């Protein structure tokens, strides 16, 4: 409860303040998530280059905050990935003997940076989308950007709540018991339905703030449902990694809620998915 009381206003406040403040928050969370992944890998004997990978994850988020156009940001993100790859290979050369897992160290370092940083880089890109595609007048661009970022947030959070309550009450058949024993098919369908409903509700609110949206109410519900599916996949992927590491939570930074990855796992999937789906909607409009 304390995490929700503090965390949700912090996110909403950064959404209101704009892309730079939002990107700083997300960059910090991406770095924390990468560090938690490296900690899980350490439990399996892999010593990643933790500081380098965390900085790379944060940098991948901050690049589109400075260059919010996807084409321009992609070039700089590619350079960032190239530099981190070269850097970790050189570090492995001087700090890891052949019997100390240099290949695994480099691979896990890059995976952590991409898994959190590259995925969450779509947060500032989403925020900039209304201004780039003229979905709102320039004076309303900041509010419109906040509203667009709110779409995957709403779909993820509402879908997760619906899945939890429906699964707890009626879930019998398990969705993926070898990875996440508590998730059920009933919960999954409820989560997708809740995400679809949140997409429709978001559209009803967003229409006045983002008048140029290339979506109808039904289309927004479809986007919400798709994000609900993406959220389930993102959640299961993190559960798979935790199960291999033999841990219940990725960390303990949020009391009672686990680590940063435990809060970000679904958003890591829904943020890029939302960007892609909105671009597809724009192309089909």
Which residues make Cβ contacts (< 8 Å) with residue 194, sequence separation at least 6? 158, 159, 161, 162, 163, 228
- Give the integer Cα–Cα distance in Å for 118 and 124: 11
Instruction: State the total domains in the chain.
Output: 1
- Give the integer Cα–Cα distance in Å for 285 and 280: 9
pLDDT of residue 123: 94
Cα separations (Å) of 259 from 7, 31, 179, 247, 256? 13, 12, 18, 11, 9
pLDDT of residue 3: 45
246 burial type by CB count under 10 A (0-12 exposed, 13-18 middle, 19+ buried): exposed
pLDDT of residue 16: 63
Along the chain (285 residues), what's the average pLDDT of each consecutive run of 10 residues?
A: 49 66 90 95 93 95 89 91 94 93 95 95 93 84 90 95 92 88 92 97 92 93 97 95 88 73 93 96 86
Q: Which domain holds residue 151?
A: 2-284
- Give the integer Cα–Cα distance in Å for 44 and 21: 36
Query: Do 119 and 272 contact (CB within 8 A), yes or no?
Result: yes
Cα separations (Å) of 207 from 132, 143, 272, 279? 17, 12, 22, 17
Structure pTM? 0.90
Beta strands in the chain (DSSP E): 174-176, 180-184
pLDDT of residue 136: 86
């Amino acid at each position: 409860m304390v995490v929700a009381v503090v965390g949700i206003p912090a996110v909403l406040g950064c959404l209101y303040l704009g892309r730079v403040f939002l990107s700083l928050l997300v960059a910090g969370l991406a770095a924390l998530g990468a560090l938690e992944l490296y900690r899980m890998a350490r439990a399996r004997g892999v010593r990643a280059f933790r500081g380098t990978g965390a900085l790379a994850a944060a940098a991948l988020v901050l690049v589109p905050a400075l260059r919010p156009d996807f084409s321009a940001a992609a070039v700089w993100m590619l350079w960032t990935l190239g530099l981190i790859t070269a850097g970790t290979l050189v570090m492995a050369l001087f700090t890891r003997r052949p019997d100390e897992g240099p290949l695994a160290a480099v691979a896990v370092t890059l995976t952590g940076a991409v898994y959190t940083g590259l995925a969450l880089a779509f947060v500032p890109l989403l925020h900039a989308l209304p201004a780039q595609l003229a979905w709102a007048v320039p004076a309303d661009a900041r509010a419109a950007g906040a509203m667009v970022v709110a779409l995957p947030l709403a779909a993820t959070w509402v879908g997760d709540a619906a899945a939890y309550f429906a699964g707890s009450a009626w879930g019998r058949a398990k969705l993926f018991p070898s990875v996440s024993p508590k998730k059920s098919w009933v919960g999954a369908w409820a989560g997708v339905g809740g995400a679809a409903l949140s997409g429709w509700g978001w559209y009803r609110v967003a229409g006045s703030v983002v008048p140029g949206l290339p979506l109808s109410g039904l289309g927004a519900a479809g986007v919400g449902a798709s994000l609900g599916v993406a959220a389930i996949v993102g959640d299961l992927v993190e559960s798979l990694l935790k199960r291999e590491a033999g841990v219940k939570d990725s960390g303990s930074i949020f009391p009672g809620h686990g680590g940063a990855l435990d809060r970000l796992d679904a958003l890591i999937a829904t943020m890029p998915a939302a960007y892609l789906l909105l671009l597809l909607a724009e192309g089909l409009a």
